[in-house]
Amino acid sequence: MHILRPIKDSDFNALRQIAAESGHGFTSLPVNDDILREKIQRSEHSFAKSLSSPQDEGYLFVLEDSATGDIMGTTAIEAAVGMTVPLYHYHLGKTVHHSPTLKVYNTVDILSMCNDYTGSSEICTLFLREPYRKGLAGRFLSRSRFTFMADHSARFSDTVIAEMRGVSDEQGHSPFWQWLQEHFFSIEFPQADHLVGLGDKVFISELMPKYPIYANLLSKKAQDVIGQVHEKTKPALRLLEKEGFEHRGYVDLFDAGPTVEAKLTNIQTVQASHVATVNICQVEKTQSFAISNQQLQNYRATFTDQVCYHSHENVIDISKDVAAALNVSNGDTVRIFRL
C-alpha cells in the first residue's frame, strides 16, 4: 500500500537521495544537508502549530511503500509565500507604440518584475522517483495535496500557485538566464539556481534590472522559452491544468518557467472530493478511491481498490488493513475522491 504522510526526521536519508535525483532547476530541494534538515524540522513544527490563518509554514510530505518502507517521492505546500523573503516574478504584459501621424501601431511584449503573489499558498517539491512512475502514484501524490488543503483551509490562502520548472539543457543551462547573465550578471545559471535553493535571494534585488524588459530585445532562444516548461515537467503541468490551474503571464526570473494559479475552492479535486463515514468490514464489492483521514500531525492518505462507497448512506466500507494504514476507526470520517 502507498501511504502519504508528513515527513519525519528519520526520512532524512531518503529526502537527500530525492534531492540528488531531482537535478538542476529543482530549487526547493538543494543537495545541502543543513537545509534539508531545516526543511524537515520546519515541517514538523508547522504540523504541530495551532493556527487560524496562514503564516510562514511549510508542510512536507513523503509517499511511502508500506510493504518495503521505501520512500517513493515527496511533495510540499507553502502556506503563504513571500512573507519573510520576497517572492519575485516577471509578469509578461504589453505596451503599445502608436503614431497616428506615421500610421504606425505596434504592440510589444514586456517583462516587469513584481511581487504579486505575496501571501499566496504554493504547492511545490513534487517529485516521484523513477522506479515508481507507473500507475496512479504520481496522480495521487499531486491531487492529495488539495484534499489536505480542503480539510485545513484556514491554514491556506484562497489563491494557490505552482511554479513550474522552465527550460534548461542537460548541464542545467537556461537560454533565458544566458541572456540575463550576459547583460546583468556574471554567474552561471546552476550557481544562481543553487543560491535560490539555499534561500540566498539578496542578489536578485541587487542585480536584477529594475525597469521593464522589452521581450523583443532578448535573444531568439530566450524569447522562445518564456512561459515554457522543462520536458520532465510537462506531465505535472498537465495534471495541474486538469485541476483548473491557469497561466496568467507570470514567469520565473531565472528560467522563465510559468507560474500557474487557481482558487482553492475552484480546484477540481476539491470540488470532486467529499467527506464520508467509515465502516470497517470485509469488503465484498470493491471500488477504487483515494482516501485521507482528515487529521493534521497524524495525517495519512492512500489509494486502494479494496473499498466500497454507498452514496445513499454516505458510508464507505474499508478493510481492516486500510483502516490500520489510515489510523481510523468505525464512525470516523474520511475525505474521498476517485483517481
**Beta strand residue intervals within the chain, DSSP E:** 2-6, 58-65, 71-78, 89-99, 104-114, 121-128, 159-163, 213-214, 246-251, 258-263, 274-280, 287-292, 301-310, 315-318, 333-337
Residue 86, C-alpha cell as written in the block = 520576497
Report the pLDDT value the prediction gives residue 201, as an integer from 0 to 100.
57
Inter-residue contact 51 to 220 (CB < 8 Å): no
Residue 15 C-alpha from the chain's centroid: 16
Measured CA to CA, the distance from residue 290 to residue 143 in angstroms comes to 9
Question: In this model, does residue 157 exceed pLDDT 70?
Answer: yes
Percent of the chain with pLDDT over 90: 69
Measured CA to CA, the distance from residue 6 to residue 300 in angstroms comes to 8
Rounded to 5 degrees, what angle do the CA atoms 103, 104, 107 make?
A: 150
- pLDDT per residue as tens digits for the range 293-307: 999 999 999 999 989
Q: Cα-flanking dihedrals φ and ψ of residue 205, to 5°?
A: -70, -25
Residue 176, C-alpha cell as written in the block = 533565458
Query: Per-residue pLDDT averaged across 17-24, rounded?
Result: 84
Query: Per-residue pLDDT averaged across 162-190, rounded?
Result: 79
Q: DSSP alpha helices (H): ranges in the chain?
A: 12-22, 33-48, 137-151, 175-184, 189-197, 202-207, 220-224, 234-243, 268-272, 320-326
Catalytic residue (choose from 230, 247, 310, 312): 230
| Position with higher pLDDT, 96 vs 200 | 96
Interacting residues of 84 by C-beta distance below 8 A, sequence separation 6+: 56
Buried b (16+ CB within 10 A) or exposed e, 288-305: ebbbbbbbbeebbbbbbe
Measured CA to CA, the distance from residue 297 to residue 60 in angstroms comes to 11
- pLDDT per residue as tens digits for the range 233-290: 898 899 899 999 999 999 998 889 999 999 999 999 999 999 999 999 999 888 899 9
Query: Per-residue pLDDT averaged across 152-158, rounded?
Result: 97
- pLDDT per residue as tens digits for the range 39-72: 999 999 999 999 989 999 999 999 999 999 999 9
Buried b (16+ CB within 10 A) or exposed e, 229-247: bbeebeebbebbeebbbeb
Report the pLDDT value the prediction gives residue 210, as an integer from 0 to 100.
76
Inter-residue contact 138 to 2 (CB < 8 Å): no
Beta-carbon-side half-sphere exposure of residue 47 (alpha carbons within 13 Å):
22
Interacting residues of 253 by C-beta distance below 8 A, sequence separation 6+: 88, 89, 90, 113, 204, 208
User: Whole-number mean pLDDT of the chain?
Assistant: 90
Query: Per-residue pLDDT averaged across 95-118, rounded?
Result: 92
Query: Per-residue pLDDT averaged across 174-182, rounded?
Result: 82
Question: In this model, does residue 25 exceed pLDDT 70?
Answer: no
* Active-site annotation holds for 230: yes
Residue 302, C-alpha cell as written in the block = 492512500
- The highest-confidence range among 108-112, 196-200, 211-215, by mean pLDDT, is 108-112
pLDDT class for 192, splitting at 50, 70, 90?
low
